Chain A
């Protein structure tokens, strides 16, 4: 199980604890990674607002680099995954378009043949690592912990690009992993909705209201913690939760963990290795519940 690892900008920037936690978790699951240090940002859907084809060329370059190594790509960000999945679908569906894109890449002696498979870590867990191996890696089951999943839009829509028809389990992948770790799933309507980050700098009021609605809704449904496979969602749901509390004149205080942080806890790793001290909403209550020193 070897992958070309695409860490994404945010795990190297605003959420270093995500990069730190995945680095501690993946070797314990039989995964091997080769980091793609020369790959560019996917564009996150924002660059595509200005020029979709430019975004597709940049992503095709990344796919071609992985193809050269003969490796599938592993992402740890819902947005990176979604944007790359959509670009890959456009390139695969239209040979003429792929040829145009390859024409731009030609000077770099790169050609994308359309064979790169791009998958998020949460899908790899279920599709490659397997439920049995995950359960075997769990040394500290999260019994009694009530965890609310929060996917990030790009890991849920559009289903056509995300391969939900071929792999229907992807729609519920986060819930499946939470259960395998011994925790209880807290279902709530907002789990597939937008975290609000894309409009944080454009319409802060609306963005923060989304943060407040989703975190307080999950808490009202009984969640001890929220878990997300998307660092952009984490930036808003964790990073802006305190600002959202002020705006809505309420107290929420719901810890939000990156998926590898939750996995690491169940796999017996300590809180420092998982960068839990870096989460802005203190995860102290979660650690107490699972018996880990903070």
Chain B
């Protein structure tokens, strides 16, 4: 079938430093991946096209790029799965990292964040005579996260990194979880305390972009949520992040449904006067428009709250 590859080009050595789209029309086979097409272009149409690739089998993680608006591996994406005969594929470099040339991005920032979470085992106590033994049961849940091939696809489409380059990002946080949850690691608490800081585990919006685009099913956001749960279990110092989850659960236990103003007040803490005051203009604007959500004693529990409270008690007992 015929396909147009519309590729975002950028050459740092050209006079104009603007990126531009260039179309290449080629015949593709039903078995062709997007990477096959790109290699065909480079070998027979335009040798200046620059891309990074190696294994062609979703193992090395080199060919991460955005195809039709979503980051993925070019070697794992069949042309036929993306467009009909005569259609156009939009191919761009990954986002949230500088572009070196065409489809090649600078991954240094990615690696720096991976290094920051100290991605190696840090056992405590005396060294065993043989190897560190861990049961299959205690390691089984880590197989998914250990499947990360560091392709950068999740980082490319992370919505928080778009607005804040200091955020550790899904790949580094998932990598951190891999060690926090490893029974052989003795440093989980220190790791969790380090993640309990701005740019760490509480800054994720839970948008699930990283879960959706990951070519290996790592489920980075789910790992970040698991880090938060472990952080609360380990009593990391209270922050707006941990208070938000704790208070949310407490309000549901008391009322069955959410008391939004109370959630905000208790999350910030009554001592956080500047933060509370900063919302007053918005609240006044809302009150003027007749938006007056009930708060505290005025916000009544749902009928059937006893059932909800019983469920909370039962679940606490079972933990």
By a CB distance below 8 angstroms, the chain A residues around B211 are: 157-158
Q: How far is the CB of A163 from chain B (nearest CB, A)?
A: 15
Q: Mark A228-251, 1 if CB is under 8 A from B, else 0.
A: 000000000001101100000000
Instruction: Please measure, in the bound complex, the distance between the C-alpha atom of A261 and the C-alpha atom of B267, giving whole angstroms.
Output: 31
Known: A13-B258, A54-B311, A210-B159. A157 touches B252 (CB 8 A): no
* Contact between B256 and A40, CB atoms less than 8 A apart: yes
Q: Which of B24-32, B101-109, B127-135, B282-290 contacts A (4 or more CB under 8 A)?
A: B282-290
| A24 sits at the interface (CB 8 A) | no
* Contact between A40 and B163, CB atoms less than 8 A apart: no
Q: Mark A190-224, 1 if CB is under 8 A from B, else 0.
A: 00011010110111111001100100000000000
| B21 sits at the interface (CB 8 A) | no
Known: A46-B248, A199-B205, A202-B203. A16 touches B229 (CB 8 A): no
Q: Chain B residue with minimal CB distance to A13?
A: B293
Known: A47-B252, A54-B312, A61-B307. A159 touches B212 (CB 8 A): yes
Residue in A105, A158, A189 whose beta carbon sits within 8 Å of that of B208 in the complex: A158
By a CB distance below 8 angstroms, the chain B residues around A157 are: 207-209, 211-212
| B257 sits at the interface (CB 8 A) | yes
Q: Mark B270-308, 1 if CB is under 8 A from A, else 0.
A: 000001001001100110011101100000001110011
Residue in A10, A54, A154, A194 whose beta carbon sits within 8 Å of that of B159 in the complex: A194
Instruction: Please measure, in the bound complex, the distance between the C-alpha atom of A50 and the C-alpha atom of B312, giving whole angstroms.
Output: 12
| A279 sits at the interface (CB 8 A) | yes
* Contact between B302 and A38, CB atoms less than 8 A apart: yes
| B144 sits at the interface (CB 8 A) | no
Q: Which of B9-17, B46-54, B239-247 contacts A (4 or more CB under 8 A)?
A: B239-247
| A124 sits at the interface (CB 8 A) | no
* Contact between B302 and A37, CB atoms less than 8 A apart: yes
| A269 sits at the interface (CB 8 A) | no
Q: How far is the CB of B278 from chain A (nearest CB, A)?
A: 8
| B191 sits at the interface (CB 8 A) | no
B240, B257, B278: most-surrounded residue (chain A CB, <10 A): B257
* Contact between A277 and B290, CB atoms less than 8 A apart: yes
Instruction: Please measure, in the bound complex, the distance between the C-alpha atom of A58 and the C-alpha atom of B212, giving whole angstroms.
Output: 26
B residues 219-269 near A (Cβ < 8 Å) are 225, 228-229, 232, 239-241, 244-246, 248-249, 252, 256-260, 263-264, 267-268
Report how many residues on chain A are interfacial, defined by Cβ distance under 8 Å. Answer: 60
Known: A61-B311, A194-B159, A196-B205. A44 touches B258 (CB 8 A): yes
* Contact between A206 and B311, CB atoms less than 8 A apart: no
Q: How far is the CB of A20 from chain B (nearest CB, A)?
A: 10
By a CB distance below 8 angstroms, the chain B residues around A45 are: 206
By a CB distance below 8 angstroms, the chain A residues around B189 are: none
Residue pairs across A and B with CB atoms within 8 Å: the count is 170
* Contact between A49 and B245, CB atoms less than 8 A apart: yes
* Contact between B267 and A43, CB atoms less than 8 A apart: no
Known: A51-B249, A158-B211. A40 touches B289 (CB 8 A): no
For the side of the interface on B, what is the size category?
35 or more
* Contact between B282 and A239, CB atoms less than 8 A apart: yes
Q: How far is the CB of B285 from chain A (nearest CB, A)?
A: 6
* Contact between B207 and A194, CB atoms less than 8 A apart: yes
Q: Chain A residue with minimal CB distance to B302?
A: A38
* Contact between B285 and A40, CB atoms less than 8 A apart: no
Instruction: Please measure, in the bound complex, the distance between the C-alpha atom of A61 and the C-alpha atom of B304, giving whole angstroms.
Output: 11
By a CB distance below 8 angstroms, the chain B residues around A2 are: none
Q: How far is the CB of B296 from chain A (nearest CB, A)?
A: 13
Q: How far is the CB of B147 from chain A (nearest CB, A)?
A: 17
| B69 sits at the interface (CB 8 A) | yes
Residue in B204, B278, B315 whose beta carbon sits within 8 Å of that of A104 in the complex: B315
| A278 sits at the interface (CB 8 A) | yes
Residue in B207, B229, B257, B275 whose beta carbon sits within 8 Å of that of A9 in the complex: B257
Q: Chain B residue with minimal CB distance to A157?
A: B208
Residue in A13, A47, A153, A154 whose beta carbon sits within 8 Å of that of B248 in the complex: A47
Q: Mark A146-162, 1 if CB is under 8 A from B, else 0.
A: 00000001100111000
* Contact between A189 and B232, CB atoms less than 8 A apart: no
* Contact between B205 and A198, CB atoms less than 8 A apart: yes
Q: Chain A residue with minimal CB distance to B314?
A: A104
Instruction: Please measure, in the bound complex, the distance between the C-alpha atom of A40 and the C-alpha atom of B311, giving whole angstroms.
Output: 11
* Contact between B244 and A46, CB atoms less than 8 A apart: yes
| B153 sits at the interface (CB 8 A) | no
* Contact between A199 and B203, CB atoms less than 8 A apart: yes
Q: How far is the CB of B237 from chain A (nearest CB, A)?
A: 14
* Contact between A158 and B257, CB atoms less than 8 A apart: no
Q: Chain A residue with minimal CB distance to B258?
A: A9
Q: Chain B residue with minimal CB distance to A58?
A: B311
| B202 sits at the interface (CB 8 A) | yes
* Contact between B289 and A194, CB atoms less than 8 A apart: no
Binding site for A on B (CB under 8 A): 69, 159-160, 162-164, 167, 198, 202-209, 211-212, 225, 228-229, 232, 239-241, 244-246, 248-249, 252, 256-260, 263-264, 267-268, 275, 278, 281-282, 285-286, 289-291, 293-294, 302-304, 307-308, 310-312, 314-315, 318-319
